Chains A and B, each alone.
Chain A
Amino acid sequence: QKEVEQDPGPLSVPEGAIVSLNCTYSNSAFQYFMWYRQYSRKGPELLMYTYSSGNKEDGRFTAQVDKSSKYISLFIRDSQPSDSATYLCAMSQAGTALIFGKGTTLSVSS
């Protein structure tokens, strides 16, 4: 079993839809959880960052961490064509390398 599992998609939704992206993980020691967005031929950019369990909201984006289930989610409300990108989850323990999921490709059509 890989440390971090993420469905690669692709995921296609109409503009305005609510998008749910998810990752599961196996290492219960992970404490830091991140979502990155990556546009084609660009480096990943940090979207959301959460320490330990709980929810975090930033504009149209909400990140959730459920450590008991080893499950993290990213919700995008009122999705826009500009949200079309690959979304990568990442997680780590303190002072260790980030471990990434394979990424989910999202396409939002207008």
Chain B
Amino acid sequence: GAGVSQSPSNKVTEKGKDVELRCDPISGHTALYWYRQSLGQGLEFLIYFQGNSAPDKSGLPSDRFSAERTGGSVSTLTIQRTQQEDSAVYLCASRSEVRRANDQAFFGQGTRLTVV
């Protein structure tokens, strides 16, 4: 597709359940990011994949959060044993880092997660 695609767009889950959020980046983009945005807050960095390098996981808030990127394309963010404070919009972005002039990140529409 032309842009970054995220699914589902909305997810309501019960506290304690696991959830998986999916991101399809722009074709050819080597970098992929996950961010979290809580109500009235800025974007909180979670994890960053760049090509075949080890991902930067420094933003993951706890070991309940994990992410993988298969084949350098699609990424899945998994939250285990969800808590109410995990409720937020989870945003994915992809970026081409082939040339400096194209070093721009484009975002998907996000997955709105509500933990009840």
| Interface residues of A, Cβ cutoff 8 Å to B | 6, 8, 32, 34, 36, 41-46, 49, 51, 88, 90, 94-103
Question: Knowing A42-B109, A43-B108, A95-B50 touch, does A6 contact B42 (C-beta < 8 A)?
Answer: yes
- For the complex, count residues of B whose C-beta is within 8 A of A: 27
B68: interface (CB < 8 Å): no
Residue of A whose beta carbon sits closest to that of B9: A41
User: Closest A-chain residue to B93, C-beta based?
Assistant: A98
Which residues from A are CB-within-8-Å of B8?
A: none
Q: Which single residue of chain B is at the shortest CB-CB distance from A98?
A: B105
Scan residues 69-116 of chain B and give those whose CB is less than 8 A from a CB of chain A.
91, 93, 97, 100-101, 103-110, 112
Instruction: Give the interface SS of chain A, mostly helix, strand, loop or mixed.
Output: loop
11 further A-B pairs in the complex, CB-CB below 8 A; given A36-B107, A51-B103, A94-B103: A6-B42, A43-B108, A44-B107, A46-B105, A51-B101, A94-B100, A98-B43, A98-B93, A99-B45, A101-B42, A103-B42
Measured between C-beta atoms, what is the minimum distance from B80 to chain A in Å?
A: 23
Contact with A along B16-52 (1 / 0, CB 8 A): 0000000000000001010100001111010010100
Closest 7 interchain pairs by CB? A102-B42, A43-B107, A100-B43, A97-B48, A43-B109, A100-B42, A44-B107
| Known contacts A6-B42, A44-B91, A51-B100; A98 and B109 CB within 8 A of each other | no
